[in-house]
Amino acid sequence: MTVSQLIEKLGRSGDQDSFIYYLQSQDGNIYRDQPSPSGPPELEAFQKYIKKDVPWMKEAIGKQAEAVNLWIGDSRSTTSLHHDPYENIYHVLAGSKTFTLLSPLETIHLDQRFYPPSTLKRSSSGQLYPEYDYPDPSYGPRIPWVGNLCLPRSARSISVTLHEGDTLFLPAGWWHRVEQKEGEEGIAVAVNYWYPSEILPERYAYERFFRRIGIMSGMEGLIPPMGDEESINSGEDDDSDRYSASQ
């Protein structure tokens, strides 16, 4: 599907179309700092409209952006709660975006489950089904994901709405869920810049401490600190069923 076809479908989506369209190819669909086996960025043509870097951010951390991504969708598209290992500069070009933000320390309040990695495919009848990365999904690495749609009352969150021209700095490791609304053009458009994040000893120590306390207190759905994760991914831990995915 071309970008023009995507814009056209977004413009007449709703009652006429049951599909939800969203451009979210990520990993540098406009710019990337490393060559990819898949070739140049899919949206390389947009480079004449989008800057390769945010000058003040590059000056602040002394590194260039690892990836620059374009996001296009409408109000039916919602990004589920997750966190990224990058420092993120997020700029809205059209419409609005509402971020629900949680500090990494709020992780102990979230119900994380572990799922086998897979790619959603669509059958000839139009039904979605998972195509697992491994022949037997009960083995191999598992991906942590927050299963609940509603945040627990104990979790402290911040809600921020960005309008056209607004920019958000999202620190690495911060949880965020994103909802959007269309602008006058009938679409929501944003561009973001991912910068490499340094591992700060104090932040790492705090996160490790809180996760261990949560696990010792009997909280389920927590990712064990580094050193324990290998046993979960390999399935060798005696309590591995505790971390298995449940739909």
CA distances (Å), origin 111, targets 77, 108, 114, 211, 246: 22, 8, 10, 12, 12
Continuous H helices in 13-94: 55-61
- 54 confidence band (pLDDT: 50, 70, 90): very high
Using a pLDDT cut of 90, give the percent of the chain over it: 22
Strand partners, 130: 120
Residue 129 neighbours by CB under 8 Å, 6+ apart: 120, 121, 122, 123
Please write the tens of the pLDDT for every residue from 90-139.
999 999 999 999 998 888 777 777 788 888 888 888 788 888 888 777 77
Give me the mean pLDDT over the 34-53 stretch: 77
Q: What's 4's DSSP letter? A: H
3-state secondary structure of 69: strand
Q: Residue 159 has what pLDDT? A: 95
Q: Which fold has domain 3-111+147-197?
A: Jelly Rolls (2.60.120)
Banded pLDDT at 160 (limits 50, 70, 90)? very high
- Look at the block and give the residue holding tokens 């932040």: 203
Residue 188's pLDDT is 92
Look at residue 84 and tell me whether its pLDDT is greater than 50: yes
Q: 74 or 225: which carries more pLDDT confidence?
A: 74
Residue 121 bridge partners (DSSP): 129
Percentage of the residues of the chain whose pLDDT score is greater than 70: 76
**CA of 228: how far to CAs of 1, 84, 115, 165, 222, in Å?**
43, 20, 17, 43, 11
Cβ–Cβ < 8 Å for 82, 146: yes
Answer yes or no: is pLDDT of 242 > 50.
no
**185 compared with 56, residue with greater pLDDT:** 56
pLDDT at 16: 59
Average pLDDT, the chain: 78
DSSP-assigned beta bridge partners for residue 113 = 145
How far is residue 240's CA from residue 66's CA, in Å, rounded to a whole number? Answer: 35
The beta strands (E) that lie in the chain are given as 31-32, 67-73, 78-82, 86-94, 96-102, 112-115, 118-122, 128-132, 143-146, 158-163, 167-170, 175-181, 188-196
Report the alpha-carbon distance of residue 6 to residue 13 in Å, rounded: 10
Q: Which residue has the tokens 């759905």?
A: 221
Residue 64 CA to residue 195 CA, distance in Å, equals 7
**What is the model's pLDDT at position 247?**
29
